[in-house]
Structure 1
Amino acid sequence: MPPSPSRPKSKARIAAQRGGHLAEFLAGWLLRAKFYRLLARRYKTPLGEIDLVAERFGTIVFVEVKARASARLEAEALEAVNQARILRAAAYWQARHPRLADRPCRFDVIFLAPGHWPRHVINAFDAN
């Protein structure tokens, strides 16, 4: 979806967006190191965006990446995950990829904070 042409983005918004892209890049490398195969990055749908879509051992993994200034803010970041948006976007992705739609899927979150190892929360929330 193209950005709205009505207002230019602020410098703070641009910096936050670049930080988010860097976090997604690092999370992608973390997943590759764990033998995941990346299927999509920043998958945009009319219903929302999925940061990363990966596959490992036949399971499709929808990954939300959360970067925070401090590792102490992880709990807050997990609460900020819009699960309904991710579930809708994942259903859209599965509808667009019917040959992979019958595979099991799960929803993970990767937390990134400066000075700390990334934390990969497997099966962070349920699809129900």
Structure 2
Amino acid sequence: MRAPATRRRAERTGRVAEEEAARWLERQGWSILARRRRTPLGEIDLIARRGPLVAFVEVKYRASAAGLAEAIDEYRLRRVAAAAEAVAHDYLRPGDDMRVDVILLAPDTAPTHIVNAWQP
């Protein structure tokens, strides 16, 4: 288990990364519908809409670009997908599509947007 100071620092870093990802998505034409949406099945970092598409977004930050390759795995994606299914009714309108995306962030590196990262 992480020490309290380490955990607080990681929490702060995560919030900053989520804010950066939200601003990046907004520049791409997305509207942010929710941040840090908690569900009984897990937390969704960002929920965003662009037209008839709602994306449930997992944000991952690493201290170096080299660490981004291992930042996301099937287990985490499955949890985000399950959480998205649990709350989709709160965000989807008739005719909308939904997907799970990932945004990877590291210093001095452009954001990497993995579109439709979860395909069961």
Alignment TM-score, normalising by the size of structure 1: 0.84
1:35/1:99 CA distance change after superposition, 3 Å: closer
Identify unmatched segments of 5+ residues in structure 2.
Answer: none
Measured in 1, the distance between the counterparts of 2:100 and 2:60 equals 13
1:79: how far off? 2.1
Letter in 2 for 1:115: D
Alignment TM-score, normalising by the size of structure 2: 0.90
Task: Give 4+ residue runs of structure 1 displaced > 3 Å after superposition.
Answer: none
Deviations 1:56-81 (A, max 9, x none): 12101010000001111122012276
Measured in 1, the distance between the counterparts of 2:66 and 2:19 equals 22
RMSD: 1.7
1:94: how far off? 1.4
8 Å CA contact 1:94–1:101 kept in 2: the answer is: no
Measured in 1, the distance between the counterparts of 2:39 and 2:13 equals 22
State the percentage of identical aligned residues: 41
Deviations 1:99-122 (A, max 9, x none): 536521111110110111111111
Identify unmatched segments of 5+ residues in structure 1.
Answer: 1-8
8 Å CA contact 2:101–2:116 kept in 1: the answer is: yes
Say which SS state the counterpart of residue 29 (structure 2) adopts.
Answer: coil
Larger radius of gyration: 1
Match of 1:108 among 87, 101, 105: 101
